[in-house]
Structure 1
Amino acid sequence: MHPCTLEGSPFGLSKVRQASSDALDALLQSIWSNVDVDVVVEGRLWDFFHHYTMLGSDRLKELGIGTIVPLESHYEEERGVENTVVFVVQPVVSQVYLVARRIGQYMIKRKTRLQCFIFHTGQWNIMCNTVLKQENIAEKVDMVVKPFHLGFIPLDTDLLTMGRDTLLRECYIGGNKSGLMDIAIAIQLLQQVVGEIGHIFYKGNLAKGVWKALTQLHTQHGSAPPASSKKQRIDCMILLDRKLDYFSPLSTPLTFEGLLEELLEFKDGVVQVDANLLDDSVPVNQNKAPLSLSNDDIIFQKCRDIHIQALGPFLHSEVTILEAEHDTLLKSMHGDNVTMAAMSELPGQVKAHLHQQVSLNQHIHLSESIQQVTNSKSFRRKWLLERAIMEREQRLGDIELLIWKHAPLFTILRLLCLHSLVNDGIPFELYYHLKTQIMQFYGYEYLHSFDNLEQIGLLSVHGASPPQNILNLFEAVGHYDENVIHPDDAAYVSGGFRPLLIKLVEAAIGPKRWESIGDLLNQLPGPSATFSNSEIEDKPKKFKKILVVVIGGISFMEIAALRFLGQKKKCSFLIASNTIGSGKNFLEPILEIVYIGLDDDDIK
């Protein structure tokens, strides 16, 4: 896997990666040990390891690092462990429990005490301490707990994440809002690199929580330094709560990148493909291999946000261009009037051409895999059902029919939540009837899943007041005649639905800011406010670089819509969130499954 090089990023994100890499280097350097140190990295942070660190094998050897393994990997008892081990984790109870269990495995046959360091990427809380205390870790090892100021992880030239998939569940179900402080710390660390952001907008309760935490950090540690240059400066920051628009992560995207996630499990910049599409470094007996996709890939950069119907014509045009380029290179190699300077450039041109050819073949293969599904009757029926639900047609009977057909549970829950959101709830009798049907068909272990969906606000029962048509107020639906080949509206990303955050962001960067949509803002849940830092001079009349932070996760559909808006308004968006995902990836961290008849150890 190859992380994005971040070259050409208008936000200088390579400096963000360098800062997090330096922070990890400093922590590892602070450990004194006369033997090799084992480093164990929590699963999500392991997935992002090369996105936030630039430590090479030589530097790791200098630091005395023996092995680096994921926390969830199988412990090889016969290999043992030296006297010092470092855990790099998110301060989440489930991860701290895994750390405690791993330490217990280390200590089974040891007669000497082990020195353990826990580097945590967010706010260490009392619940994490409770786990360590219950497992009697202090009696087994000498333990040191230190913060690792990781902040946002650059995933692409305009995309930041934290890998904090369970934030919504922590805030709304667990009552633990320490994750909001973690996002505020990430913003503060980002400002240390790009300079203080002069204008701030926020909407929603979680967004306000992040702003309050950010204000607290500024009071304690002072404001961030100003941008070193105007080119590096971010003009404004827009903090938005995921609860403002649950429709987008539940809707089916129709862009190439969105469908890669939806159908081929594209995540963290990596998709699993046929091993034959990659080079000879893949083992012979391996059928699938990871393929990294980012703006480093010129073809992917061009097609990642286009509609699936436009993908075929685009790839065909790229084939034509490459064929013409191939003919030009052949003439240059065999021509009589070729200069020495041109000959010296040929090897590099041929190498780049071959790389483009391989990349194009990979994208054609991915396109064929996706279109095989999108052209199927089942996919079209599901999309048409979503469209009908968004138009407020009563389709609970169709959802029940899918239950009887034993359709994938996440498809059922996705449609049910969408129906509930559009209609401000489901009638009492029908809701409990469908709930009973789902538990009978899929298992009673999903009983708590409904409680979680209700607490987060994805499912509800009809209230006494008439339902409010928020989608029509925001003019978010009905754009089904949009030209998807040459779109003029961000609704092309789903074939007719425009994500609500586009309206909020477009108004924020407009001449009247949020004053122009004051009535609409009041229709959405949670408080809103705008702030301007008077200490920053030369305030721009037009925002050219905007940081959009969505608390609770953002979908590739919304990312594509923001990029489209940036092209239309001639501005650049830096998009950040605690996690990236929609559909199953959005719902899965929210659900809670209680496995009937299994012991606690079997579940964990």
Structure 2
Amino acid sequence: MEDIGSQTVIVAEKEADIILPPPTALNPVPVLPVALRVDNREQLLGLLESDPHSASSTFRQLLVFGTESLRTLLLRQVMSDPHTRTFKGKKKNWDDLNSFQYPKTINVVGTIVLHNHEKADETPQSAFPDDATSWDNYRDGKQIDVVTYFLRPTDVAQTQLAARRIHAWKKQIRIHHRVVYLPQASALIRKILNNMGLTTSPNVSIQQLQMDIFPLETDILSLEYDDAVRESEVEQTPSNLITTVARSILKLQDVVGKIPHIQSYGALGEEVVRKTLDITVDEYLARDRVEEEVGEVMGGQVDALVIIDRKVDMVTPMLTPLTYEGLLDDVVGIDCGFINVDVDVINPEDSTEKKSDAKREIVSLGVNASDSLYNEVRNQHVEKFGSFLQNQAMALRQSHAEFTSQGKKKDLSEIHQFVKNIPMFTQNLRSLTNHIHLAELVKKTSEEPLFRERWQTERAMLEGETCYETLEDLVAYQYAPFKFFRLLCLQSLCSNGIKSSRYDALRRDIVQTYGYEYLFVLENLELAGLLSRREGLWMDTTSPFNNLRKSVHLINAEVDTVDPDDISYVSSGYAPLSVRILQTAVKGWNTRSEILRELPGRLIDVIQQNPPEELSAALKRPMKKLGADTDQDTQGKKKPTLMVMYVGGVTYMEIAALRFLSKRPGFPFHIIICTSKIINGDKLLKSLA
């Protein structure tokens, strides 16, 4: 048993020995994240422990990952669960960027990120060697028996680069190359591998890991699908995304039981529901013995599922979040529950001189609910978390001073209790020190005049104003390109397009300032629906967003950011549209049908049946209120659970708003958030570039 913050986690050798904590607002179905973690870890260990070309148990392998994000996901999240991680006997609670924990049954001689080889400034330790000989030269002669590549099937460039590396190493016949796809290789990838001669090579094997959903927190499940919006909106090839999301829903239902009520918003949401029901029907018909039950599915551990297509609300990702976690992601970048920062940021006391870029030490710091302090401060507004951390520091200092004061004698029980609490005190002190330094970095950014001007520009656009002059000034100022594109897209989304003459002028300025390659970025933004040209002399005051802003009260200028009573605190007055839609859905759409007309796609409402039905049959049944039996007083009663699935990504602003609702006594559900990826505006736009 290990105490982590305010939580107690049971670490067991066998799955049957795991004792689950009681349900809470942030962990409404404790079995779900535990079951997914156990399944993912067993799959990964089973693959790494198996030698693809012999029965040897002592083979040495090099692990190669398509991206840094994939390495972090598999080795820090799956291999070593950060929520049960402790740092006993150490003076720090972060890891070196390239250090990982492995079981004794696995002999890993190193890890490499595949794309880093293309960077001229990468060190040999993180670059991909040209051949096995060069590896032996700078790895102290450590020989390799197996090279295992972990790749995503959606990124063709990863496969092509890995294939070139394999061909460069082919002289080393003793080395076996194992190419592993998560969750599975697509038909296109198999054709590429076949054309490059890898499927017939005796020392190359193609495998797959059916790991399609990862519990980043007890209330956040992610598919870690990077290019959802690009595939669906730009390339118009959403079939792989739809299938992956549908299969992940079926996997979740294997753990929590069939979800009785499903609603979806947007075209992708509808296709996910259709695919989910089709697979369910096919599996039912393929059984040897059919079930005799007839009628509605009885509620399991999750009472309802809402699927939201990201295209329903493209405005929210373009905005600047004002919560601690949202700003930390915006300023530093959070990837799979970890941030990579210069060690001098979180440990400036050891920095005596300014280091060159070559000597900078980048470390990986976990930011998750196992850190009780972070768990408490993560969703707080920027105006609150600074003073909160200050008060925590004063409380720790005071508790230590009270015990060590000379004027008061201590009995043995007090001394014993103090000594017992020293490890927890030390851990809390380390965590507090880290977050004070990170908060200083975040607040320094948020207090800059340009940051304040950006927020004011965003608010003006949200309220229906046109800010063309500001956009032109930012281009002339050579503002960071993707920060600028976020504002440009926000202007287009809020005003139903950008005036044609202004659009041409801005387009010309962008090319002259940032370069011709950004013409392709603009084209992709148009294809994704984030940017459009508006003909005519006047602003369209009847744009969909303007109508939604009024009908669902997206702007709340009077919200209290320190002691909030509304989700709009997450951005000092703007309530994320997707979360407002969810609030409205819970109350029912009977009198609010005009809102649905402003949203892309249509509302799909399905009650799952025994035996299962296809979508066309399910839609013939009458629509039910989401949580029809939850409008009673829930005081003192266990809330039902609602799962919200974002297809295309969710932002930390929306996560904070959903957690706020989940904890409110007046909201009838506890919420589990499921997403294809956690994103922000920069990540979304860069995925389209």
Give me the TM-score of the superposition, normalised by structure 1.
Answer: 0.87
How far is the alpha carbon of 1:473 from its aligned partner?
Answer: 3.8
Residue identity opposite 1:372 in structure 2: K
Amino acid at match of 2:114: L
1:596 aligns to what?
Answer: none
CA contact (8 A) 1:18 1:53 kept: no
| Corresponding position of 2:386 | 312
- Does residue 558 (structure 1) correspond to residue 654 (structure 2)? The answer is yes
Query: SS state of the match for residue 687, structure 2?
Result: coil
Distance 1:558 1:545 in 2: 18
- Aligned 1:379-418 pairs, distance under 5 A: 379-418=451-490
Q: Displacement of 1:525 after TM fit? A: 0.3
Partners of 2:213 and 2:656 lie apart in 1 by 20
Equivalent in the alignment of 2:621: none
- Residue ranges of structure 1 left out of the alignment (5+ in a row): 592-604
Q: Report the more deviating stretch, 16-25 or 487-496.
A: 16-25
CA offset digits 1:194-218 (Å, max 9, x no partner)? 3222221111111122222222332
Q: SS in structure 2 opposite 1:580?
A: coil
Render the CA deviation track for 1:229-249: whole Å, top value 9, x for unaligned: x99812211110000001110
1:242 is matched with 310
Comparing 157-166 with 23-32, greater Cα deviation is found at 23-32
1:264 alignment partner in structure 2: 332
Hey, what's the Cα distance between the residues in 1 that align with 2:101 and 2:219? 30
Instruction: Give the one of 543, 548, 566 matched to 1:467.
Output: 543
| CA 1:28–1:362: 2 relative to 1, 3 Å | closer
Matched residues in 2 for 1:190 and 1:94: separation? 31
- Structure-2 residue corresponding to 1:338: 411
Whether contact under 8 Å (2:194, 2:200) holds in the other structure is no
Q: Distance in 2 between matches of 1:334 and 1:249?
A: 56
Which residue of the partner structure matches residue 677 of structure 2?
Answer: 579
Alpha-carbon distance in 2 for matches of 1:268, 1:170 = 21
Q: 8 Å contact 1:6–1:156 — kept in the other structure?
A: no
What one-letter code is carried by the residue in structure 2 that aligns with 1:541?
D
> Is 1:95–2:119 an aligned residue pair?
no
Aligned-partner residue type, residue 78 of structure 2: Y
CA offsets, 1:13-61, max 9 Å, x none?
A: 1221111111223344553524434432332321211212359999755
> 5 Å matches for 1:141-156?
141-156=202-217
- Structure 1: distance between partners of 2:514 and 2:372: 44
Equivalent-residue separation in structure 2 for 1:487 and 1:400 (angstroms)? 36
Q: Any conservation in 1 of the 2:112–2:127 contact (CA below 8 Å)? A: no
- Tell me what 2:266 maps to: 204
- Amino acid in the other structure paired with 2:46: A
- Return the letter of the residue paired with 2:681: G
Question: Does structure 1 residue 356 correspond to structure 2 residue 428?
Answer: yes
Partner of 1:602: none
Summarize the Cα distance change of 1:222–1:36 in structure 2 as closer, same or farther, 3 Å threshold. Answer: farther
> Partner of 2:423: helix, strand, or coil?
helix
Residue 218 to residue 335, structure 1, CA distance change in 2 (3 Å): farther
Instruction: Note if contact 1:474-1:500 (Cα within 8 Å) is conserved in structure 2.
Output: no
Deviations 1:409-436 (A, max 9, x none): 1122111100000111112222122111
Q: What whole-Å deviation, never above 9, does each CA across 1:564-603 have from its counterpart, x for those lacking one?
A: 1112226322112111121212211111xxxxxxxxxxxx
Aligned 8 A contact 2:53 2:176 in 1: no
2:243 aligned partner: 181
Alpha-carbon shift at residue 516 of structure 1 (Å): 4.8
Question: Which whole-Å CA distance do the structure 2 matches of 1:68 and 1:288 have between them?
Answer: 16
Q: For the Cα contact (< 8 Å) 1:194–1:233, is it kept in 2?
A: yes
CA contact (8 A) 1:257 1:305 kept: yes
Seen in structure 2, the aligned counterparts of structure 1 residues 39 and 156 have a Cα distance that, compared at 3 Å, is same
Quote the offset at 1:534 in angstroms: 4.4
With over 3 angstroms needed to count, the CA separation of the structure-2 counterparts of 1:310 and 1:237, relative to structure 1, is same
Amino acid at match of 1:105: A
Q: Give the structure-2-normalised TM-score.
A: 0.77
Structure 2: unaligned runs, 5 residues or longer? 10-20, 22-26, 86-99, 116-125, 137-142, 612-626, 631-638
Paired letter, 1:552: G
Q: Report the Cα distance in structure 1 between the residues aligned to 2:676 and 2:375, rounded to whole angstroms.
A: 23
Distance in 1, Cα, partners of 2:226 & 2:308:
17
In the alignment, does 2:535 pair up with 1:448? no
What is the total number of aligned residue pairs between the two structures? 578
**What is the rounded CA distance, in whole Å, between the counterparts of 1:565 and 1:175 in structure 2?**
34
Asked if structure 2 preserves the Cα contact closer than 8 Å seen for 1:10 and 1:232, the reply is: no
Aligned-CA RMSD value: 3.3
Deviates most, 477-486 or 286-295: 286-295
Three-state SS of the structure 1 residue aligned to 2:533 is: coil
Q: Offset of 1:251 from its aligned partner?
A: 0.3
Residue 15 of structure 2 corresponds to none
The residue number in structure 1 matching 2:322 is 254
Deviation digits for residues 434-487 of structure 1, max 9, x if unmatched?
A: 111101111001111111101111001126785332442443443122111111
3-state SS, counterpart of residue 589 of structure 1: helix
Q: Partner residue of 2:41?
A: 21
Aligned in 2, Cα 1:271/1:45: closer, same or farther, shift over 3 Å? closer
Question: What displacement does 1:390 show?
Answer: 0.9
Percent sequence identity over aligned pairs: 26
Contact 1:255 1:493 in 2 (8 A): yes
* 1:124 has 2:185 as partner: yes
Supply the distance in 1 between the matched residues of 2:248 and 2:8 (Cα, whole angstroms).
Answer: 18
**Match for 1:10: what amino acid?**
P
Paired amino acid for 1:102: R
Q: 195-204 or 124-133, which moves further after superposition? A: 124-133
- Residue 573 of structure 1 aligns to a residue whose secondary structure is strand
Which residue, 284, 295, 299 being the options, matches 2:369? 295
How far, CA to CA, are the matches of 1:218 and 1:265 in structure 2? 38
Secondary structure at 1:505's aligned position in 2? helix
Structure 1 distance, partners of 2:678, 2:153, is 19
Query: Are the equivalent residues in 2 in contact too, given 1:547–1:573 (CA < 8 A)?
Result: yes
- One-letter amino acid of the counterpart of residue 569, structure 2: Y
Amino acid at match of 1:562: L
For residue 66 of structure 2, what is the aligned residue in structure 1?
Answer: 42
- How far off its partner does 1:114 sit? 5.6
Question: CA 1:115 to 1:359, structure 2 compared with 1: closer, same or farther past 3 Å?
Answer: closer
Deviation (angstroms), 1:141: 4.8
2:679 is matched by which residue type in structure 1?
G
2 CA distance for matches of 1:42 and 1:282?
33
Question: Structure 1 residues 146-155 or 83-92, which shifts more?
Answer: 83-92
**Whole-Å separation in 2 of the counterparts to 1:123 and 1:456:** 26
Which one is further off, 118-127 or 466-475? Answer: 466-475
> Which SS does the other structure have where 1:587 is aligned?
helix
| 2:498 alignment partner, SS class | coil
What's the secondary structure of 1:588's corresponding residue?
helix
- Is contact 1:38-1:84 (8 Å) kept? yes
Cα distance in 2 between the residues matched to 1:15 and 1:165: 24
* Equivalent residues of 1:391, 1:477 under 8 A apart: no
